[in-house]
Amino acid sequence: MATGTAPSLPSAALAQRAAALCLDLKANDVVILSLKGVSDVADFFVIASGTSDTHVRSIADHVAVELKKEGAPVHHQEGVTQGRWALLDYVDFVVHVFHPSLRSFYQLERLWGDAEVIPVESQGGTP
């Protein structure tokens, strides 16, 4: 298995898919920020909140497992076992799943205030 193999979907579609997977497990306040032209850190941040440490872990695990099945394995992850702030780094996009108190403390949306907020597309139904 080669490292660096590009996933079949572009980063915008994968960020949308990650957001939808967060919503599958009833994540709160799911937001996608486009960092294009704002930062070289990644193209997109997907930010979501769980209601407890267990919920944060469950959401992060769900995203990682499902995206891996779809050909997009996580490049690096942090904080999943603690459940306070789970970070899933897919290189072109990063998923942040927060416990509400930490999301309020770090305020990533405010920190990246120049980033465009991308609407989360509905994944249900047919186009």
C-alpha–C-alpha distance, residues 106 and 111, integer Å: 8
In a domain, 3, yes or no: no
Question: What's the number of domains the chain is made of?
Answer: 1
104 is in which domain, residue-wise?
Answer: 11-118
In a domain, 126, yes or no: no
pLDDT tens sequence across 56-67: 999 999 999 999
In a domain, 62, yes or no: yes
Between the CA atoms of 101, 31, 29 and 107, what dihedral angle is there, to the nearest 10 degrees?
Answer: 20
In a domain, 6, yes or no: no
C-alpha–C-alpha distance, residues 73 and 63, integer Å: 10
pTM of structure? 0.86
CATH number for the domain spanning 42: value is 3.30.460.10
pLDDT tens sequence across 19-49: 999 999 999 999 999 998 888 889 999 999 9
